Amino acid sequence: MNKEAFFLDEDKQDLVVHSLEIIGEATTHISEKFKKEHDEIPWQEIRDFRNVMTHQYFRIDPEEVWTVANTDVEDLYAFLLLILNKNKK
């Protein structure tokens, strides 16, 4: 889906926001040890963004949601795959 279509589709926006909320909530279940070992990941920013989407939804910026979903999540996913593959060896 392109950016313009995303901005016109409130259902898609809601789905993406909900998915980002889940990712943010998941960070609260990661051990502090793991977070310290991988402090290049902005754990607190992820959680803070989740808190805005969950509790201050009137502040949600569709442009920021688009950027996070299409850049930050992909980067996080790639980094976590590297960690998982490293731990398999």
Burial class, 49, CB count within 10 angstroms (exposed 0-12 / middle 13-18 / buried 19+)? buried
Total domains present in the chain: 1
| Distance in angstroms (rounded) separating the CA atoms of residues 70 and 85 | 23
Residue-range definition of the domain harbouring residue 45: 3-88
| Distance in angstroms (rounded) separating the CA atoms of residues 26 and 20 | 10
Per-residue pLDDT of the chain (89 residues; tens, 9 = 90+): 899 999 999 999 999 999 999 999 999 999 999 999 999 999 999 999 999 999 998 889 999 999 999 999 999 999 999 988 887 76
- Give CA 15 to chain center in angstroms: 13
Q: What pLDDT score does 89 carry? A: 64
